[in-house]
Structure 1
């Protein structure tokens, strides 16, 4: 069971939105706060990212060709050829449809920078703890041979957007979907093993990683701390301490969270009856499941299903 993929799938609410952005100096593009998580990929040239949200405690920084930025909570920010260049929100006349995703053109007639800018629509009301533990801004450079898989994905995107051909309309959205996994995997794997904490350590820990995979694969199983500890070859107390320290909550609390997350996805995305949802998430009766779901989401499963369909 791929815990990273499952965690992201549990948060997705829509397909990503994106645009190819062409900036010619002098240029500055102001991007207001957005629901979900923002991302930028520098396909050509250089620019600056200027945080404009008081909750993002980071100074402006420069981006070069191949750099990738992931903004965990979609904060307001600006992109510009220089931090001193005034930034303005996009205008409808600056957007040009065509190609796989369309192009936004801003600025003057100076040196050109090309970016892929977009938003991953993730449920920030109930973020998975893996996402919640990320820095506010993840900045990854693919230069000098770093993050080769991410670099390859960026190269493929650059080629498809620069020279669209037959099949590009299907290839580009698929690459953008995959890009988020490449970004998060690159960040997780870039954390030094000796100092890694939280989920960066949990996903490779010899005791915690298999336990997480088991909980994700079989949320309907009657797991106990004892059974998970036995599989990990640790005492109950040692396993519980290790799991809680890395994941951020005790094993049974995480299991309940994952069961409810799984139930919510089934309610949103399928027509299976509530008895089936209850069985697939480890509850012996529809009543017990409905009680647990209402405690977690503040409404009954049927009401949640109707509301999610109406949204």
Structure 2
């Protein structure tokens, strides 16, 4: 194991007092042992900080960043990334759980892949409730727990633009070199994954691992539950971030085919703006559509 690459797990915590210990223990209980764990609490206003500091009593070598003000996921992750040393990086939310063989399978995929310029490996996830009950799998599985329809591998740029395939971000491992070349997460955004997948897939390959690697917890304030709330400040911020992602993707596109693919995502986001009565955001999409068309 000592000759295998170092993996940094950045565990981001914001009001996860009920789940953070399970998340942290799942990192320490990995089959793969060459791991650096960094905990970053984004100024939680529940009991998370105390729960973490109590846990650290038995794990004094683990790095802990305790935020004085709430910065958001993107800035907090970048701050932890600067302290990390791993060749590969995992962005772990403090309410999710890594299965025991997760990192071992991810590293093996990197080391044994035939893909050129591989930036990200990712797998499947079991979605669970706050009480650890099974909900479903991120990608539908057969009786052998294999994905019924395999998501994209290789050059996935078009798939990211037109939503024909989705990345299970909680099950992903990223190459540090790529994160650094792309300057980490975009700190102007309220969420990070779609923007990073598009920017990374422009020049790099991705690979899907057909295994269930993590448990992703569905909680009331999860990002996915915020997209369609009307007159909600968080919803507006999230959906405005999607607008910025599309605007950036237009600048990355090189062909008419790519513009056509991005148009599908743009129409999807316009639909969200319409359903949430965010009329100003809906109007802002119109010049982007004209730019893609002409």
User: TM-score higher than 0.5 here?
Assistant: no
Which protein is bigger by CA-based radius of gyration?
1
| Length-normalised TM-score, structure 2 | 0.30
| Length-normalised TM-score, structure 1 | 0.28
